[in-house]
C-alpha cells in the first residue's frame, strides 16, 4: 500500500491522500485495524488536550471581541479569525499532522480501508481512550461501556442532525443516565444527604464494634433490605452466602467483646472473680479495723481512760431490747436473746453503786471511758462479723452500738472541744465503715467464691449502692477481674442455643443482658481499673451494633453456629424438589435450567447484599466516581466524538 504525501512548506503541514487504502480484503481484519487506528488517533488527541484547551479559551475571547467589531464595521479583522489548529504547535490537529508525516505514524492513525475513515468502527476505537486507571475489570468495563455509548451515540445524532450541540449532549447522556440511575438506587437504599450521613455513621459505629464487612441491610438500616436478607437466608443458592456473612459479623462482635474483657483483666471467671471479691472485702475489713483503732487511740490522748461515762442510754436500750410483751410473759421469752439479756445483767451489776470500776459517790450508772469504748468496739466487731448463723442478729446489736456511741459522745463533749472533735472523727469513720461492712458482709458469707460473684452480678440490675460499696472495698485488679468476667458473659448464648463447647455467642443475648444493667451500674462496673475507658467504649460499641441488628432484621437473632443447621435443613427440604426437577428435566430441559437460573439469581443477590463494595458504593456521596466521569469526557475528546466533529469541521 502506498501513500501520497504533500507537504506545505510555509506551515509544515502534511496532507495525506489515501487513494490506495483499499484494506486487506478481510472485513474482520479491516474492522480491527479501524478500531486500532481510532484508539491511537484518540491517544494523539489526548496528548494535545492542554494546548487545545488554551486555544479554545483564546477562540472564545476572539469571538467575544469579534462579534461586536464585525457588527459595527461589517468585516472581521484577520487577527480575530481563529487560526488553523494544524498550525498551532502542540495542538491535537498539529500532532496528528506530524504523526501522518511518517509511514509508521500513518499506519497508526489512518485505517487501511478508506471506507472505515471517520466511521463508527474507528469511533469505537477512539472511545476506548476513555478507560483511565480502572481499579478493577468491572470498572474498566463500565468506563469502556460509557465511552462507547457516548461516542457512538453522539456520532449517530450528529450524522442524523448535523448539530454539534445535540451530538455533544447525546455523548454525555450515558454518564448522566448512569448517574441518575445510581443516585436513584442510593436514594432508595438510604435516602438523601441526611440519610447518607446516617448510614456513614452506622458504618462507623459498626467498624468501632469490629464489624468491617456489614451487609447492606445492616449498614443502611433499611428494613426492606433487611427483610430481603432475612428471606435469602432460607433461600436455596443464598443460604451459604448469608450464613457466612452472619457468622462473620457475629464473630467480629465476639472478638471485640473478648478484647474488651482482655483489656479489663486476663484473670477472669466466676471462681476468680469471687475469690478476688472475698479477698478484697476481707482486706477492707482488716484495714478498717486498724484505722478505727488508730483513731480511737488518738481519742485516748484527750480523754483519760478512767473518765466516768454515764451509760444510762445504754442501759435503757438494753432494757428496751429485753422488754416483756405486755400480757404475754411466756411469749416474751421466745423473743429475748439470751446473750443480750446477759449483757444487760452484766452492765447492771458493773454500774451498781460501789461495785463498778468507779468507786465512791456517783458511781451508779457510770463506767470508765475505756470500758465503754472497748465495749462499743466489741459490739462493732459483732456487727461486722455477723452471719446468718450468728446467735445474735444485727437487729439486736445495732441499737446497742448506737446507745454506746451516744454515751461516749456525751463524755467526749464534756471533756472539751479537742476530745469532741477527735471522737466525731473516729465515730464518723466507724459509722461509714460499719455501714459498708453491713452491705458487703454477705459476699464474705457465701458458701463458695462463685456465689459471691453471682451475688455481685445481680446488683447490676437495680442495687447499685451495694455494687458501689463492694467496688470501693476491693483493689483495682479485683475490679478489673469482675468487669472482665461480666463482659465475657454478656453475649454467651442461652443453654438452649449453646454449642457443645459452650462458646456460642449471641448478639440478642448480649443486648438483653446489656439492657438489664442500669446505666448507673454500668458506670460503676466499667470504671476504676486499668484500661476501663477503652474496655467500656468497646462494649458500648458492641451494644450499639447489636441494637442495630435487632432493629434491622431477624437474621441476626440466631447465635453463631446455627447457619450449618439452617443450611442442612434447606438441603434436606430441597431433596424432593431436586428429584422432581431431575424427572422434569427428562421431559422438559427448561425445568432444570429454570431452577439453576433461580439459584444463580438468589446467589447473586446474596453476594451483592453482602459485598463490602456495595456498602461503600451506597454510602458514597457521588454515584459515579469523579475519575469515571472524567474518563467519559476524555473519551469524547480523545479522538472520539469531539475529535470527529473537529475533523468534520475541517
Give the pLDDT confidence of 145-172 residue by residue, as tens digits: 888 888 888 888 888 988 888 888 888 8
| Residue 386 sits in the same domain as residue 496 | no
DSSP assignments along 200-267, one per residue: HHHHHHHHHTT-SS--HHHHH--HHHHHHHHHHTTSTTTHHHHHHHHHHHHHHHHHHHHHHHHHH-SS
Q: Which of 464, 438, 441, 462 is nearest to 452 (CA)?
A: 441
Count of beta carbons in the 10 Å neighbourhood of residue 313: 17
Cell numbers given for 535: 474496655
In a domain, 133, yes or no: no
| Residue 395 sits in the same domain as residue 474 | no
- Residue ending a domain, among 117, 135, 164, is 117
In a domain, 574, yes or no: yes
| Residue 473 sits in the same domain as residue 544 | yes
Give the CA radius of gyration of the chain.
46
462's enclosing H/E stretch is none
| Residue 470 sits in the same domain as residue 531 | yes
In a domain, 13, yes or no: yes
| Residue 9 sits in the same domain as residue 111 | yes
Q: Which of 303, 322, 313 is nearest to 366 (CA)?
A: 313
Assign residue 191 a region: left if phi > 0, alpha if psi is -120 to 50, beta otherwise?
A: left
308-310 and 366-368 as β-strands: parallel, antiparallel, unpaired? antiparallel
The CA distance from 407 to 312, in Å, is 8
Tell me the backbone φ, ψ of residue 381, rounded to 5 degrees: -65, -35
Residues whose CB falls within 8 Å of the CB of residue 313, separated by 6 or more in sequence, listed in order:
403, 406, 407
Please give the residue range of the domain that contains residue 26: 1-117
The CA distance from 645 to 156, in Å, is 12
| Residue 599 sits in the same domain as residue 517 | no
User: Which pLDDT score, from 0 to 100, does residue 641 have?
Assistant: 59
In a domain, 171, yes or no: no
Residues whose CB falls within 8 Å of the CB of residue 272, separated by 6 or more in sequence, listed in order:
481, 485
The CA distance from 49 to 634, in Å, is 9
Residue ranges of the chain whose pLDDT lies below 70: 1-21, 353-363, 387-389, 553-595, 622-650
The CA distance from 84 to 93, in Å, is 9
The CA distance from 209 to 429, in Å, is 44
User: Which pLDDT score, from 0 to 100, does residue 642 have?
Assistant: 58
User: Which pLDDT score, from 0 to 100, does residue 2 have?
Assistant: 43
User: Which pLDDT score, from 0 to 100, does residue 308 have?
Assistant: 92
Angle at 98 between CA 92 and CA 104, to 5 degrees: 115
DSSP assignments along 136-205, one per residue: SHHHHHHHHHHHHHHHHHHHHHHHHH--HHHHHHHHHHHHHHHHHHHHHHHHHHH-SHHHHHHHHHHHHH
In a domain, 293, yes or no: no
| Residue 543 sits in the same domain as residue 566 | no
| Residue 476 sits in the same domain as residue 522 | yes
| Residue 324 sits in the same domain as residue 404 | yes
In a domain, 104, yes or no: yes
User: Which pLDDT score, from 0 to 100, does residue 593 have?
Assistant: 63
User: Which pLDDT score, from 0 to 100, does residue 634 have?
Assistant: 57
User: Which pLDDT score, from 0 to 100, does residue 165 have?
Assistant: 81
| Residue 354 sits in the same domain as residue 324 | yes
Summarize pLDDT for 359-377 with one digit per residue, the tens. Answer: 444 457 899 999 998 998 8
In a domain, 125, yes or no: no
The CA distance from 162 to 154, in Å, is 11
- Residue ending a domain, among 556, 586, 619, is 556
Total domains present in the chain: 4
| Residue 539 sits in the same domain as residue 473 | yes
User: Which pLDDT score, from 0 to 100, does residue 536 have?
Assistant: 96
Count of beta carbons in the 10 Å neighbourhood of residue 650: 9
Q: Which of 429, 440, 439, 432 is nearest to 293 (CA)?
A: 429
In a domain, 295, yes or no: no
| Residue 399 sits in the same domain as residue 469 | no
Amino acid at each position: 500500500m502506498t501513500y501520497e504525501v504533500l507537504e506545505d512548506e510555509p506551515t509544515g503541514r502534511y496532507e495525506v491522500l489515501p487513494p490506495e487504502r483499499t484494506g486487506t480484503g478481510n472485513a474482520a481484519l479491516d474492522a480491527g485495524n479501524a478500531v486500532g487506528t481510532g484508539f491511537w488517533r484518540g491517544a494523539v488527541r489526548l496528548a494535545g488536550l492542554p494546548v487545545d484547551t488554551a486555544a479554545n479559551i483564546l477562540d472564545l475571547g476572539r469571538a467575544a471581541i469579534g462579534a461586536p467589531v464585525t457588527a459595527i464595521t461589517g468585516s472581521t479583522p484577520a487577527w480575530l479569525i481563529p487560526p488553523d489548529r494544524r498550525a498551532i504547535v502542540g495542538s491535537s490537529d498539529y500532532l496528528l499532522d506530524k504523526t501522518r508525516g511518517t509511514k509508521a505514524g500513518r499506519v497508526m492513525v489512518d485505517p487501511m480501508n478508506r471506507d472505515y475513515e471517520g466511521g463508527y468502527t474507528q469511533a469505537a476505537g477512539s472511545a476506548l481512550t476513555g478507560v483511565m486507571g480502572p481499579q478493577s475489570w468491572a470498572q474498566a468495563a463500565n468506563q469502556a461501556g460509557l465511552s462507547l455509548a457516548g461516542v457512538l451515540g453522539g456520532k449517530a445524532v450528529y450524522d442524523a442532525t448535523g448539530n454539534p450541540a445535540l451530538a455533544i449532549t447525546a455523548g454525555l447522556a450515558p454518564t448522566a443516565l448512569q448517574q441518575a440511575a445510581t443516585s436513584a438506587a442510593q436514594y432508595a437504599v438510604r435516602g438523601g444527604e441526611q440519610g447518607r450521613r446516617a448510614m456513614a455513621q452506622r458504618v462507623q459505629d459498626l467498624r468501632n464494634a469490629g464489624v468491617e464487612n456489614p451487609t447492606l441491610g445492616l449498614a443502611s438500616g433499611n428494613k426492606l433490605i433487611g427483610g430481603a436478607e432475612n428471606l435469602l437466608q432460607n433461600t436455596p443458592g443464598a443460604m451459604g452466602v448469608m450464613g457466612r456473612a452472619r457468622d462473620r459479623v457475629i464473630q467480629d462482635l465476639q472478638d471485640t467483646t473478648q478484647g474488651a474483657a482482655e483489656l479489663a483483666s486476663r484473670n477472669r471467671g466466676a471462681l476468680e472473680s469471687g475469690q478476688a471479691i472475698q479477698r478484697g472485702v476481707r482486706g477492707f475489713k482488716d484495714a478498717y479495723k486498724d484505722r478505727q483503732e488508730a483513731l480511737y487511740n488518738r481519742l485516748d490522748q484527750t480523754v483519760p481512760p478512767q473518765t466516768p461515762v454515764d451509760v444510762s442510754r445504754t442501759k435503757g436500750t438494753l432494757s428496751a431490747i429485753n422488754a416483756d410483751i405486755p400480757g404475754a410473759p411466756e411469749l416474751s421469752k421466745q423473743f429475748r436473746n439470751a446473750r443480750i439479756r446477759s449483757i444487760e445483767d452484766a452492765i447492771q451489776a458493773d454500774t451498781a453503786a460501789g461495785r463498778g470500776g468507779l468507786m465512791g459517790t456517783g458511781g451508779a450508772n457510770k463506767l470508765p471511758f475505756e470500758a465503754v469504748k472497748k465495749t462499743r468496739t466489741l459490739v462493732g466487731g459483732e456487727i461486722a462479723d455477723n452471719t446468718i448463723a450468728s446467735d445474735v442478729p444485727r437487729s439486736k446489736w445495732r441499737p446497742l452500738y448506737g446507745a454506746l456511741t451516744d454515751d461516749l459522745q456525751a463524755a467526749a463533749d464534756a471533756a472539751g472541744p479537742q476530745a469532741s472533735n477527735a471522737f466525731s472523727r473516729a465515730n464518723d469513720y466507724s459509722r461509714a465503715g460499719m455501714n459498708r461492712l453491713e452491705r458487703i458482709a454477705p459476699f464474705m458469707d457465701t458458701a463458695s467464691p462463685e456465689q459471691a460473684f453471682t451475688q455481685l452480678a445481680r446488683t447490676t440490675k437495680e442495687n447499685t449502692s451495694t455494687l458501689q460499696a463492694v467496688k470501693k472495698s476491693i483493689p483495682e485488679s479485683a475490679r478489673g477481674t469482675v468487669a472482665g468476667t461480666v463482659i465475657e458473659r454478656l453475649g454467651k448464648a442461652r443453654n438452649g442455643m449453646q454449642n457443645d463447647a459452650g462458646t456460642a455467642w449471641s448478639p440478642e443475648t448480649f443486648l438483653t443482658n446489656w439492657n438489664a444493667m442500669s446505666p448507673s451500674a454500668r458506670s460503676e462496673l466499667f470504671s476504676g481499673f486499668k484500661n476501663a475507658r477503652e474496655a467500656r467504649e468497646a462494649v458500648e460499641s458492641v451494644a450499639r451494633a447489636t441494637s442495630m441488628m435487632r432493629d434491622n432484621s431477624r437474621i441476626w437473632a440466631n447465635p453463631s453456629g446455627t447457619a450449618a443447621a439452617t443450611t442442612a435443613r434447606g438441603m434436606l427440604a430441597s431433596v424432593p424438589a431436586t428429584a422432581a426437577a431431575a424427572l422434569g428435566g427428562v421431559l422438559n430441559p427448561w425445568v432444570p435450567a429454570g431452577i439453576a437460573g433461580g439459584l444463580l439469581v438468589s446467589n447473586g443477590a446474596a453476594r451483592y447484599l453482602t459485598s463490602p463494595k456495595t456498602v461503600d458504593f451506597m454510602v458514597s456521596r457521588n454515584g459515579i466516581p469523579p475519575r469515571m466521569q472524567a474518563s467519559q469526557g476524555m473519551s469524547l475528546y480523545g479522538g472520539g466524538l469531539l475529535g470527529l466533529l473537529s475533523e468534520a469541521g475541517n
